[in-house]
Amino acid sequence: MSKLEPLRTAVAVSPDNVPLLLLLASACMEEWSLEEGRDTFERVLRIDPNRAEAKLGIAKILHLSGKISEAVVRTEAVTRDHPGYAAAWIFLSRLNLVDGNKEQAKSNYEQALALDPASKDASLERELFSSGAKPTPPREEPEKVPVTGDSWKDSGEEESTGPKEADIEKPKTNFNDVGGMDAVKEEIRMKIIYPLQKPELFRAYGKKIGGGVLLYGPPGCGKTMLSRATAGEIKANFISIGIHQILDLYLGNSEKNLHQLFQLARDNAPAVLFFDEVDALAADRNDLKRSAGRTLINQFLAELDGSVDANDGLLVLGATNAPWHIDPAFRRPGRFDRILFVPPPDEKARASIIEVMARDKPVTKLNTAELAKKTKDFSGADLKAVFDVTIERSLANAMREGRVIPITTDELLQTAKTLKPSSRAWFESAKNYAIYSNQGGFYDDVLTFLGIKK
């Protein structure tokens, strides 16, 4: 009996359920319904553009369709964007064999084993090592999650080069540079800034100083800027972390990098340690098959708990567009226990953002209220795009005429008509999670924003 019909029925009921869509796409490949499979994988990427399984799935469908060169290009792109994804290295190894490049195939297969020993493929090994040679065995994973100090050096792991580009900033940006969002700013003041500014008062009430705060909402609504401005408000050091600064090909080194970044922040407290796209590091462990990924998550939880070292004066901020992918353990007390929804700016906030963006630009007779009114649902990034596109057009005219040509409100309004709010696609996905997966009222703010819950 075909798996497709029940899966199609389930997807019709839950159209934005990514795990369900991935199951349907895989079943389509098994039953050689390649066009539907590709459409389903692309649907996943519209919901979650960073989903590695969907990107690799499209490459596999191209391979099945006989488009080997395009499959190679796409798979190589997956290994670049997701270097810790062992399945992509395995598939790239198979494609290398098809192209007759056996040495490269061996190298990519060994890379996969180093990432995940459980990805061993007996049939592929027979083709790669028919002469009797065996792949280089992967390093043993440390028996325990590393704890602190020099104990890292005793694990027998490859010496890590340490976190990359972990710069300590002293932001000059503060809340005056962030247009609107007064309600979110006040929440940040109460939950973050006041405790750090008046620690004795908060300790007298038994309140913790520092801790973890999760900012979530549509892309482009100012989560990163708010985090940097928060550090500027309290005159704290700011350390911004991307996933590429943590993940390492050798087992144990990702955990080591994460620990060193936390230690860097502790050594420079008061400090704000900011993790952009934190869902990539704090993924739900139920979605992970590789033990290495689970170990990194356990390390992250231990660092947040302060069981590795004291976190006094350390504020950990995480930003995500996909809070539904984060392991629930990260929302327990003492971790990311304070959750802030960062929505698109309202009309008053858009007016403030427009005023900030118009600073130091040749804008004449700016009607802030009119532009704010006509840009409903626009994020801060969308408003920036309105200015950027208009400036590019004006600059082209200025170059031809050899003089500065002021930008008008009408020109900005004309540009705004050609752009669509980027937040709408996010709310289409978030609405389903908010209605059907709202454990503990986690998404109440989303429902309130959408007018579903008062």
- Segment among 61-75, 82-96, 360-374 with least mean pLDDT: 61-75
- pLDDT value of position 3: 63
- pLDDT value of position 144: 34
Using alpha carbons, select from 389, 396, 395 the residue that is nearest to residue 415.
Answer: 389
Q: What is the pLDDT of residues 308-347, one digit of tens each?
A: 667 878 889 999 988 888 888 888 877 887 889 999 988 9
Residue 254 has pLDDT above 80, yes or no: yes
**CATH number for the 347-418 domain, one of 3.40.190.10, 1.10.8.60, 1.20.1050.140, 2.70.50.60?**
1.10.8.60
Residue 185 has pLDDT above 90, yes or no: no
CA atoms of 338 and 331, how far apart (whole Å): 8
Do 248 and 110 form a contact (C-beta atoms < 8 A)? no
Residue 106 in 3-state DSSP? helix
Check residue 315 and report its DSSP letter. Answer: E
Mean pLDDT of 124-153: 50
Strand segments, DSSP code E, in 154-280 are 168-169, 211-216, 237-241, 271-275
Check residue 99 and report its DSSP letter. Answer: T
Q: What is the pLDDT of residues 227-247, one digit of tens each?
A: 999 999 988 899 998 877 887
Q: Which CATH architecture has domain 4-128?
A: Alpha Horseshoe (1.25)
Do 422 and 377 form a contact (C-beta atoms < 8 A)? no
CA atoms of 278 and 281, how far apart (whole Å): 5
pTM summary value = 0.61
- pLDDT value of position 416: 94
4-128 against 347-418: fold identical = no
* Rama region for 302: left / alpha / beta (φ>0; ψ in -120 to 50; rest): alpha
Q: What is the pLDDT of residues 1-27, one digit of tens each?
A: 456 777 787 778 778 888 888 888 888
CA atoms of 393 and 411, how far apart (whole Å): 9
- pLDDT value of position 412: 95
Please enumerate in sequence order all residues whose Cβ is within 8 A of that of 91, keeping only pairs 6 or more positions apart, or say none. 56, 59, 60, 75
Other CB atoms within 10 A of residue 4 CB: 16
CA atoms of 319 and 168, how far apart (whole Å): 18
CA 94 from centre of chain: 29
Q: What is the pLDDT of residues 31-49, one digit of tens each?
A: 778 888 899 999 999 988 8
Position 98: which residue type?
Answer: V
Check residue 376 and report its DSSP letter. Answer: T
Q: Mean of the per-residue pLDDT values for the chain? A: 81
Q: What is the pLDDT of residues 319-330, one digit of tens each?
A: 998 888 888 888
How, if at all, do strands 168-169 and 237-241 pair? antiparallel
Position 82: which residue type?
Answer: H
CA atoms of 396 and 4, how far apart (whole Å): 54
Position 54: which residue type?
Answer: A
φ/ψ of 176, rounded to 5, equals -65, -20
φ/ψ of 41, rounded to 5, equals -60, -40
Paired tokens of 140? 């043993």
- pLDDT value of position 410: 94
- Segment among 238-242, 259-263, 332-336, 415-419 with least mean pLDDT: 332-336
Mean pLDDT of 416-432: 88
Residue 133 has pLDDT above 60, yes or no: no
Please enumerate in sequence order all residues whose Cβ is within 8 A of that of 12, keeping only pairs 6 or more positions apart, or say none. none
Percentage above 70 pLDDT, the chain: 86
Helix axes 18-30 and 4-13, enclosed angle (nearest 10)? 160
Residue 417 has pLDDT above 60, yes or no: yes
Do 109 and 125 form a contact (C-beta atoms < 8 A)? yes
Do 263 and 227 form a contact (C-beta atoms < 8 A)? no
CA atoms of 411 and 413, how far apart (whole Å): 5
CA atoms of 358 and 103, how far apart (whole Å): 57
Please enumerate in sequence order all residues whose Cβ is within 8 A of that of 381, keeping only pairs 6 or more positions apart, or say none. 219, 220, 221, 422
Question: What is the helix (H) or strand (E) element at residue 24, kind and residue range?
Answer: helix 18-30
**Can you give the residue ranges of every domain in the chain?**
4-128, 149-341, 347-418
pLDDT band at 160, cuts 50/70/90? very low
- pLDDT value of position 18: 84
What's the CATH fold of domain 149-341? Answer: Rossmann fold (3.40.50)
CA distances for 437 relative to 51, 104, 119, 440, 442, angstroms? 20, 45, 32, 9, 9
pLDDT band at 372, cuts 50/70/90? very high
Strand-pairing partners, residue 240, are 274
More confident call, 373 vs 107: 373
Mean pLDDT of 265-277: 89
Mean pLDDT of 212-217: 90
**Within 13 Å and on the Cβ side, how many CA atoms surround 421?**
21
- pLDDT value of position 352: 87
Residue 409 has pLDDT above 90, yes or no: yes
- pLDDT value of position 129: 76
- pLDDT value of position 159: 45
Strand-pairing partners, residue 237, are 271
More confident call, 234 vs 191: 234
